[in-house]
């Protein structure tokens, strides 16, 4: 008997049907992967199961019994837990409070904080997570926020767990602990629905794979019945040639030089040179200081020491505005927090940093703006009924594409991509890589921060590795290997561990 049986599920938004009668089954003790392009309807289908959306038609049966799911709490009481694609932490609360939100241990009517922290510590330990349960959520980087979200779902002891792109912003190390947890849960008979755009993960964890396209079923396969090519083909509906369209370009003169840049506890003594035509990869574990460094290159934070030379001249960026006027763009890792104005339309989000271009004698040229946005939207293949809809009505991957569109629109000289393909499907990824290459080939320069090894190695001309806030190595394209990178990532970690030990003794 199936643990979950969804049949004929329909759902419309603003009168547009996005799920046209989808069927889906989950068996106990298995991992069922749900795949499909951006906007195929994966999240929407799962939100129906988790009670986030009311669906308009169809039946959901849980353990054979028809289930009435009208709200997230209905779903929870039926044993369904969901890790949402878009993280929604209560930023002012601590890690522990977030994990046990609404089900805090109580003693005599009051929250039992001692118990709360103890339980959280135990949970975090079991996940191999090294964080303080008392830290406020807003102090955590994206990756750790995502791990908290995962811990939260796991702690509910649900027997149906939905994971909507749980690994989109974590690195390999955390992925491994997640997979160990998944194995444990399977052994206990839990059914897991796993959504991801990362092929290698899918083939490692999935027992079954269901593919959706445009809100309908394409098919369901057992493990081993389908290979990567067939899977991609069933998702995008055509064959995909090379994933990384990297072409050799001639590397030009230096455009950005960074000398001994330091900001305490974020990054230390970083120096590098970026050339025209170059794609420079930055890799490092979570907390290695990659994003923090990028924030300073864009004027979000200011370095304490060191200097930045742009085309040979020293510059200081007091705010992102200075960086934008100097022709730098920054595709931020955190699309919901720093990337998008969710209630604004797709069109208005896309032109936000480049609005000056669409102004004539003080007035906005809306026709020119609309045309430019339409061009950008179709070149990035953003799936939407209209560019005037609020950007929050888009699927996760399509929202990410709007962040890309927005910065491409500024026609920058240097573009910093921090995890640019987070949540983007295989087909679109290849297109984005192509745009990236073309852009660099025009004499611009790209900084690519990525946790995905294949992406970093497939796209970069050179890779710089950061470890524990410090520079730990540089590799040219001919020297790329996963081993070398991993080794460099840990280079300064060993010594830190020793430091920690010493301070424990004291």
Partner 1 sequence: MSQLDPGVQIKRRTMSRRQFVSTFGSLIGLILLIIIMYALKPNFLSTSNIRNILRISSINGLLAVGMTFVVLTGGIDLSVGAVMGCAGMYSAYFAQTSMNKHWMVAVLVGVGMGLIIGTFNGVCVSYFRVPPFVGTLGSMSIAKGLTFLLTDAKPIPSLSTEFKFLGGGNIGGWLPTAIVIMLVVLAICFTLLYKTRYGRYIFAVGGNLNAAHVSGINTKRIICSVYIISSVLAALAGIITSARVTSGVTSTGDGYETNAIAMVVIGGTSLAGGRGRLWGTIIGILLLQCLTNGLDMLGVNTYYQMIIKGFVVIGAVMLDGLNAED
Ligand X SMILES: Nc1ncnc2c1ncn2[C@@H]1O[C@H](COP(=O)(O)OP(=O)(O)OP(=O)(O)O)[C@@H](O)[C@H]1O
286, 489 Cβ separation under 8 angstroms: no
- Distance between CA 464 and CA 456 in Å, rounded? 10
- Distance between CA 381 and CA 398 in Å, rounded? 8
7, 1 Cβ separation under 8 angstroms: no
CB nearer to partner 1: pick between 363 and 505: 363
327, 256 Cβ separation under 8 angstroms: no
> Residue 208: helix, strand or coil by DSSP?
strand
Residue 339 near Mg ion by CB under 5 A: no
> Residue 301: helix, strand or coil by DSSP?
coil
In the window 260-299, what residues touch partner 1 (CB under 8 A)? 298
CB nearer to partner 1: pick between 141 and 370: 370
Residue 196 near ligand X by CB under 6 A: no
- The contact mask relative to ligand X for 255-294 (x = CB under 6 A, - = no) is ----------------------------------------
Contact residue for Mg ion among 191, 284, 289, 396 (CB under 5 A):
396
CB nearer to ligand X: pick between 16 and 494: 16
Binders of ligand X: how many residues, by CB under 6 A? 22
- The contact mask relative to ligand X for 373-392 (x = CB under 6 A, - = no) is ----------xx--------
Q: How far is CA 164 from CA 50, 153, 309, 417, in A?
A: 11, 11, 41, 23
Look up residue 383 and give its two tokens. 């799936």
Contacts 24+ apart (CB under 8 A), 221-229: 228/199, 228/203
Contact residue for Mg ion among 85, 168, 350, 384 (CB under 5 A):
85
445, 255 Cβ separation under 8 angstroms: yes
- The contact mask relative to Mg ion for 31-50 (x = CB under 5 A, - = no) is ------------x-------
Neighbours of 314 (CB within 10 A): 10
387, 393 Cβ separation under 8 angstroms: no
Tell me which residue of 279, 315, 320 sits closest to 298, measured CA to CA: 320
> Residue 477: helix, strand or coil by DSSP?
helix
Contact residue for ligand X among 349, 398, 410, 472 (CB under 6 A):
398
Residue 13 near ligand X by CB under 6 A: yes
Contact residue for ligand X among 397, 412, 420, 427 (CB under 6 A):
397
Residue 196 near Mg ion by CB under 5 A: no
- Distance between CA 176 and CA 172 in Å, rounded? 6
Return the bridge partners of 262, or none. 305
Shortest distance, CB of residue 364 to partner 1, whole angstroms? 6
Contact residue for ligand X among 32, 39, 48, 78 (CB under 6 A):
39
Contacts 24+ apart (CB under 8 A), 64-73: 64/1, 64/2, 64/5
Residue 291 near Mg ion by CB under 5 A: no
Contact residue for partner 1 among 385, 481, 498, 499 (CB under 8 A):
385
- The contact mask relative to partner 1 for 13-32 (x = CB under 8 A, - = no) is xxxx----------------
Q: Which residues bind partner 1 (CB under 8 A)?
A: 13-16, 52-54, 298, 300, 319-321, 323-325, 330, 332, 337-345, 348, 352-353, 355-356, 359, 362-364, 367, 370-371, 374, 377-378, 384-389, 406
Q: Which residues bind ligand X (CB under 6 A)?
A: 13-14, 18, 36, 38-44, 85, 383-384, 393-398, 423, 425
Q: Which residues bind Mg ion (CB under 5 A)?
A: 43, 85, 395-396
């Amino acid at each position: 008997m199936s643990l979950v049986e969804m049949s004929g599920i329909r759902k419309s938004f603003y009168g547009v049907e996005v799920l046209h009668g989808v069927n889906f089954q989950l068996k106990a003790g298995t991992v069922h992967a749900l795949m499909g392009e951006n906007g195929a309807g994966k999240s929407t289908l799962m939100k129906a199961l988790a009670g986030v959306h009311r669906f308009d038609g169809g039946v959901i049966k849980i353990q054979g019994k028809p289930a009435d799911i009208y709200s997230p709490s209905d779903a929870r009481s039926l044993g369904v837990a969901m890790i949402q694609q878009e993280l929604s932490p209560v930023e002012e609360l601590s890690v522990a409070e977030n994990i046990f939100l609404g089900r805090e241990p109580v003693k005599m009517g009051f929250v039992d904080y001692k118990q709360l922290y103890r339980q959280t510590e135990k949970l975090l330990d079991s996940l191999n997570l090294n964080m303080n349960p008392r830290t406020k959520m807003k102090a955590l980087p994206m990756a750790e926020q995502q791990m908290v979200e995962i811990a939260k779902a796991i702690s509910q002891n649900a027997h149906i767990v939905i994971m909507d792109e749980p690994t989109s912003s974590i690195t390999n190390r955390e992925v491994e602990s997640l997979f160990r947890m998944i194995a444990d849960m399977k052994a206990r008979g839990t059914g897991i629905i796993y959504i991801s755009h990362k092929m290698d993960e899918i083939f490692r964890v999935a027992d079954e794979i269901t593919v959706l396209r445009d809100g309908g079923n394409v098919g369901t396969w057992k493990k081993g019945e389908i290979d990567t090519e067939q899977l991609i083909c069933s998702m995008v509906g055509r064959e995909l040639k090379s994933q990384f369209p990297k072409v050799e370009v001639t590397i030009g003169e230096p455009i950005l030089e960074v000398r001994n840049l330091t900001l305490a506890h974020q990054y230390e003594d970083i120096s590098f040179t970026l050339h025209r035509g170059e794609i420079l990869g930055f890799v490092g574990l979570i907390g290695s200081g990659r994003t923090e460094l990028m924030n300073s290159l864009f004027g979000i934070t200011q370095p304490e020491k060191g200097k930045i030379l742009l085309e040979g001249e020293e510059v200081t960026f007091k705010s992102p505005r200075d960086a934008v006027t100097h022709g730098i763009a920054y595709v931020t890792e955190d699309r919901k927090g720093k990337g998008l104005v969710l209630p604004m339309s797709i069109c208005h989000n896309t032109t936000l940093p480049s609005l000056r271009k669409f102004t004539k004698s003080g007035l906005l040229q809306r026709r020119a703006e609309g045309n430019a946005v339409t061009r950008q939207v179709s070149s990035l293949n953003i799936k939407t009924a209209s560019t005037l809809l609020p950007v929050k009505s888009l699927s996760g991957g399509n929202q990410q594409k709007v962040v890309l569109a927005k910065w491409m629109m500024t026609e920058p000289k240097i573009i910093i991509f921090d995890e640019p393909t987070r949540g983007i499907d295989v087909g679109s990824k290849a297109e984005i890589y192509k745009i990236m290459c073309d852009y660099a080939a025009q004499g611009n320069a790209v900084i690519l921060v990525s946790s995905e090894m294949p992406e970093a190695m497939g796209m970069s001309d050179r890779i710089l590795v950061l470890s524990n806030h410090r520079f730990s190595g540089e590799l040219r394209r001919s020297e790329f290997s996963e081993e070398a990178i991993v080794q460099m990532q840990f280079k300064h970690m060993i010594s830190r561990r020793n430091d920690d030990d010493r301070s424990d003794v004291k």
